[in-house]
A and B are shown apart, each in its own frame.
Chain A
Amino acid sequence: MNKLLFIGIMAAGLFLSAFTTLHNGYHIGDTAADFSLKNVDGKMVSLSDYDDAKGYIVTFTCNHCPYAVMYEDRLIELHNTYAPKGYPVVAINPNDPAANAEDGFPEMQERAEQKGFPFAYLFDDGQKIYPKYGATKTPHVFLLDSNRKVKYIGAIDDSPRDADAVEVKYLEDAITALENGKNPDPATTKAIGCSIKTVK
Chain B
Amino acid sequence: MVKNYITIILLLLVTTGLLAQDWERNDLTIYETFDEFEEVLHRDNDTTYLINFWATWCGPCVKELPHIEEMNDHYKNEKYQTVLVSLDFPKQIDSKLIPFLNKHNISSEVIVLLDGKSNNWIDRVDDRWSGAIPITIIYNKEKRLFLEKQFHSEKELVELIDSFINN
Would you call A161 and B89 a contact (CB within 8 A)?
yes
CA distance A194 to B54 in the complex (A): 10
The 6 closest A-B pairs by CB, nearest first: A137-B132, A136-B130, A195-B132, A190-B122, A190-B131, A189-B119
Would you call B58 and A191 a contact (CB within 8 A)?
no
Say if the beta carbon of A4 comes within 8 Å of chain B.
no
Q: Which residue on A lies nearest to B61, using beta carbons?
A: A195
Q: With contacts A66-B57, A100-B59, A161-B89 known, is A191 near B128, CB below 8 A?
A: no
CA distance A170 to B118 in the complex (A): 13
Min CB–CB distance B86 → chain A (angstroms): 12
Residues of A within 8 A of B (CB): 22, 64, 66, 100, 136-137, 154-155, 158-162, 165, 167, 170, 189-197
| Contact-residue bracket for chain B | 20 to 34
Main SS of the interface on chain A? loop
CA distance A122 to B60 in the complex (A): 24
The proximity string for B residues 118-159 relative to A, scoring 1 for CB distances below 8 Å and 0 otherwise, is 111011000011111110000000000000101000000000
CA distance A162 to B131 in the complex (A): 17
Would you call B116 and A159 a contact (CB within 8 A)?
yes
Given contacts A158-B119, A159-B117, 13 further A-B contacts (CB under 8 A): A136-B148, A137-B131, A137-B132, A158-B120, A167-B117, A189-B119, A190-B119, A190-B131, A191-B118, A192-B133, A193-B132, A194-B58, A195-B150
Say if the beta carbon of B87 comes within 8 Å of chain A.
yes
Would you call A194 and B132 a contact (CB within 8 A)?
yes
Among candidates B89, B116, B129, residue contacting A165 with C-beta atoms closer than 8 Å: B116
